[in-house]
Chain A
Amino acid sequence: MTDSSSSTPESWRDWLLTAEPHSRHQARLGRAYVTWRRFSENRLAVTGLVIILALVLIAIFADLLAPHSATVGNLAGARLLPPGSSGFLLGSDDQGRDILSRLIVGSRITLAVVALVAIIAAPVGLLIGTVAGFAGGYVDAVLMRITDIFLAFPKLILALAFVAALGPGIENAVIAIALTSWPPYARLARAETLGVRNSDYIAAVRLMGASPTRIVVRHIMPMCLSSLIVRVTLDMAGIILTAAGLGFLGLGAQPPMPEWGTMIASGRRFILDQWWVATMPGLAILVVSLGFNLLGDGLRDALDPREAGR
């Protein structure tokens, strides 16, 4: 009805939502748009997205946003000041450093941990799961046995033991958490693979002579992506909490790195009189985890309407 060459918003919408897309590109964009509409109707999910975007922005512009240095403090002069003291919006810690600045710079560490674990664990899980699901038989049994072994382990304890063995430090904490995080993704990918393995289009591609690698990589893996992304996002809160837990036990990031869990551990001694030193980082963790959870929930509702509202 409208002129297809005009670029008013109405025609964009129609173009995206049309029932007969002319190209794969249009179909993809259309699906994305529909998903986005579903997502944005959920206020909580949008809140989560806003929180995460804020986190990313803060992390990027940390140096500009932080009013003081996050590592250099005024030991003699500005130690353990309460929130609201001049220049120290959230108070200062036991080395005289501004807590707000430390939180801001620490957001980089939080983001880095989450991103690294996701980048390491998700592809590994995806690979193992799809290979196991597609190959079946002996390979499947062995891979799933290994997956189940790791899945059945108590994660925090294993991460604890790993980090204790490798030595405390944020890198080792990341490795330890990643090592214990991949099994659910493998399981998920395998379940998805089993679902689509016998479908017609896979059979068709196989008939056309595609190698197993190609089938797995180009046709099966993309099917797993959406549920994987949702799962990863939902897990991110747990990753942040585990990293903070390791920091709290003294096994994660080491002082003076402004990692939020480590800050809680250092502030624990002052909880009675200077409660803000331990409370502020905890609030930060709470808000960010909440953001990831809301975002993950919203993504899941948007991407898979059958599960919506669950």
Chain B
Amino acid sequence: MSSVDPDRVILDPRFAPPFPQAALPVLRNPQLRKNVAHAIDVIQGKRGKLVAEKTDWQTLRAAASDLRTHVLENLGEYLVQFEERCTAAGGVVHWAADAAEARSIILDLLRQENANEVIKIKTMTSAEIQLNPFLEANGVNVFETDLAEIILQLGEEEPSHIVVPALHVNRSQVREIFARRMGLKNLSDDPKELTNAARTYLRQKFLTIPTAIGGANSLIAETGSVAVVESEGNGRMCLTLPRTLITLAGIEKVIPRFHDLEVILQLLARSATGERMNPYTSLWTGVVPGDGPQKFHVVLLDNGRSSILAKPKQRQTLKCIRCAACMNACPVYRQTGGHAYGSVYPGPIGAILTPQLMNMQHAQSLPFASSLCGACYEVCPVKINIPEVLLELRSQVVNQERKQAGRIFDPLDLGLRIANFLFAGAGRFHAAQRMGRIGARLFTRKDGWIHSLPSVGAKWTQTRDLRGLPPQNFHEWWAARRKEAK
């Protein structure tokens, strides 16, 4: 007997169950579905209003899309430029080929600082490389400082969204977690009181822990500066108070110039949280004497990104600015929430990014976790054609499966090969139709419908009826009509 909870959330694509299976716990949990739907309705409502008031929304999207494409086409030059300018400004730039290297670079830096505690700004990239468990295992206490991340960390929960990672947890669950972990028995479930509890819990940590880890929304090649957007001020605390700051960023995060932020910033907050602007944006350049951390490290992470870059149809995945508009718009995400994706990147962007980061060796069910309705493409501020990439990845997954031994006798494969043969010639097609009509007669009831088919066909008729084939098809009807006219 295994004691492992079958509903346990696993966000490591190497071990997570396939999407349809991982979605079941959420689909069985009405409270969770209610929490997810409520959060998404609120964000979507706000986003819709603010996007509608922006008359130049589509031209901004076009500008952002072209800007991000341009960066990716010239990524090597912009990265080198960023490195040069950041270094000149007193920063130290590190390059990490994969997650393991990034983790060990960061641990080495912490050891040099004798840091056994670290405060953290929310960064999905650190979740991607599973930094926290690694640091904890190596004796470093990690304190997340974003409210949602505290909820997850103290509640031993997993993130289910990239902007509001605790959207699946409601206020009474937060109350329970905080009361238990902060020792506050009389805490109410008023969000204001809960937020205050987090403020108090973190204040001393901000003031005393001298090392911070964060991410980046943009790396600016022209200046070597880094920009971080946030709401709570926890980011500013981590970027300002510590002696040492370590920034972890994917190599795709570069933008050419400072004023390119005018494009990104106008799109990001509106898309992410439905605000005209997020409360705080911080920008800093290397080390500024007398203001903020006097030691600054940037870890540039590849971890599969350069191989995505090499594939022309898939490259657009890297344009992403992590706003989460795609998951908020997605009818599948709305039903399943984020955990079903078995990755720290859920939703449509996760469905294309995760399998690619895994070099198509894991998470192959994700490209199929979509109705291809295109809502994600429509809202994407940098115009990533997610359905196009989904289709491309689906075909790769199918080709992978086809290569597996034994696939040649797979009923679906066999059926499709036969269909391919029949549909390729008019004579064959008509003959098949005549045969089919005779065969279908066996199963068609008096009402003209097929209610159940045997064997593989049952998979269809289990959940729906099939209309019986008409006695005459269009071609036959047309030919007969012309004959009569003569």
Chain A partners chain B: no
